[in-house]
Structure 1
């Protein structure tokens, strides 16, 4: 089963310039909650943003990663 650190690393590697905060939602190692901030989300719908993240894991979603709850957003402009 993936760890929170592995999930974070994979998201940040797949989405350049992104930051991810991941927590084990239930403590069982298969339900996770993540907040992902990425410039790749700019101009995308919330659904499209979530798909970008879910695509990182492919068939693991619903398997080893039973659930991944997402909050996504574009970084604030300075």
Structure 2
């Protein structure tokens, strides 16, 4: 399974997001540190979920990083995370 799919599946199962965007930006980082042949090393993730309600920005990001700890340990070199509640989008 591709890493983008793994990220999408894990975040969907853990956070039940109303919006989830997983953008593989690896091509833009080819030749940079952490880039690997075949890509799937640099991602930007936007998650809109009620699970973030009452949590600080740092706590939200820690939650996402914890959910994706295996992917970060294996191949994902860089992960940019944007976390919002549905109310913050409206």
Q: TM-score, normalised by structure 1?
A: 0.82
Q: Which blocks of at least 5 consecutive residues in structure 2 are unaligned?
A: 28-38
- Give the total of aligned pairs: 77
Q: Distance in 1 between matches of 2:44 and 2:13?
A: 18
Q: Distance in 2 between matches of 1:42 and 1:26?
A: 31
Tell whether 2:69 aligns with 1:73: no
Summarize the Cα distance change of 1:5–1:56 in structure 2 as closer, same or farther, 3 Å threshold.
same
Structure 1 or 2, whichever has the larger Rg, is: 2
Q: Which blocks of at least 5 consecutive residues in structure 1 are unaligned?
A: none
Q: Distance in 2 between matches of 1:57 and 1:7?
A: 7
Structure 1 residue ranges (4+ consecutive) displaced by more than 2 angstroms after TM superposition: none
